[in-house]
Amino acid sequence: MPKVYLSPPYHYNNVCAIPGCDENKHNNEYLDELVVYLKACGIEYKRGPRRIAKTAGNGDQMMINAVAESNAWGADLHYISHTNASSNGSARGYHPMIYPGSEKGRKAAECIIEERRKIYDQSITLIPRSDLYELRKTTAPAVYEEHVFHDNEADARWFHNHLRQVAEATARGMCRYFGVKFVDPYDKPAAPELCSVSLPILRQGSNSGYVRTLQILLNKYNNAHLTEDGIFGQGTYNAVRAYQRSRGLTVDGIVGAATWAQLLC
């Protein structure tokens, strides 16, 4: 199972152009989305501490501790999530960074960039940097994200409105890098189409050949151990409820079209 260390910003206060937000806040909200995808894809993760802006604490020490934890854990990828700022708030763009000469870091970044291009229409530039602590001191290859410019309202608002899509793109890129299958946790399987059946509704107290057919099917598919006598008694009622529960149906003990369809189709 691949291991990714997730390192959010530890800044004291980098204000976002969106009122009530800051760099720490929206990056941690993005990582909240990302971990859902990582879990679904079978990628193990550890995560650095969530610092709230303007609270006491040494941000540099938190970063140093995060790198030490990542290295001790044996991460396969160290992933840093930040947003950028410019001198006048006019810049836009996605600027991921890697350590110069790190081929694995470059490969991971390029896999993520390929997916990000599908959803982000501003400039994308991969930047080698040797002066950043989290790129220099991690044992694992590292990707340092600068997702958008948080002091540009349009860029910041795009990020806020696309946290889940950015997380999905990152997870897809990581899956490609590690060679694992991407699994979308929000892609629910379609409900089975009910086949066309026209059978009577059965409930406790029913007594007919249809009940016997029901009992035969419950014995076959759910190991109900019912006497196949055509009498819908307490045992058959309990068996119907157990079957409905196991198939995600409404658990009411009544055999209507949905329960018949599951049994017959």
Domain ranges of the chain: 3-178, 209-264
Cross-sheet strand order for the sheet of 142-149: 44-47, 3-7, 77-84, 142-149, 97-98, 127-128
- 109 has pLDDT over 60: yes
Q: Kindly indicate the confidence band of residue 87, based on its pLDDT and cuts at 50, 70 and 90.
A: confident
Mean pLDDT for 180-187 is 94
Task: Record the pTM.
Answer: 0.73
The CA-atom distances, in angstroms, between 139 and each of 71, 80, 258 are 6, 14, 55
> What pLDDT was estimated at residue 159?
98
The CA-atom distances, in angstroms, between 148 and each of 124, 188, 238 are 10, 31, 57
Mean pLDDT for 240-254 is 92
Decide if 80 contacts 105 (C-beta within 8 A). Answer: no
**Assigned fold of 209-264:** Muramoyl-pentapeptide Carboxypeptidase; domain 1 (1.10.101)
Calculate the average pLDDT of the chain: 94
**Assigned fold of 3-178:** Aminopeptidase (3.40.630)
In this structure, which amino acid lies at residue 219? N
Better-predicted residue by pLDDT, 245 or 192: 245
Same fold, 3-178 and 209-264: no
The 10s digit of each residue's pLDDT in 152-174 is 999 999 999 999 999 999 999 99
Q: Kindly indicate the confidence band of residue 217, based on its pLDDT and cuts at 50, 70 and 90.
A: very high
Q: Kindly indicate the confidence band of residue 193, based on its pLDDT and cuts at 50, 70 and 90.
A: low
Helices marked H in the chain — which ranges? Answer: 23-41, 59-73, 103-116, 133-136, 153-161, 163-178, 209-222, 234-246, 257-264
- 188 has pLDDT over 80: no
> What pLDDT was estimated at residue 196?
59
Residues whose CB falls within 8 Å of the CB of residue 131, separated by 6 or more in sequence, listed in order: none
- 195 has pLDDT over 80: no
The 10s digit of each residue's pLDDT in 14-47 is 999 999 999 999 999 999 999 999 999 999 999 9
Decide if 70 contacts 135 (C-beta within 8 A). Answer: no
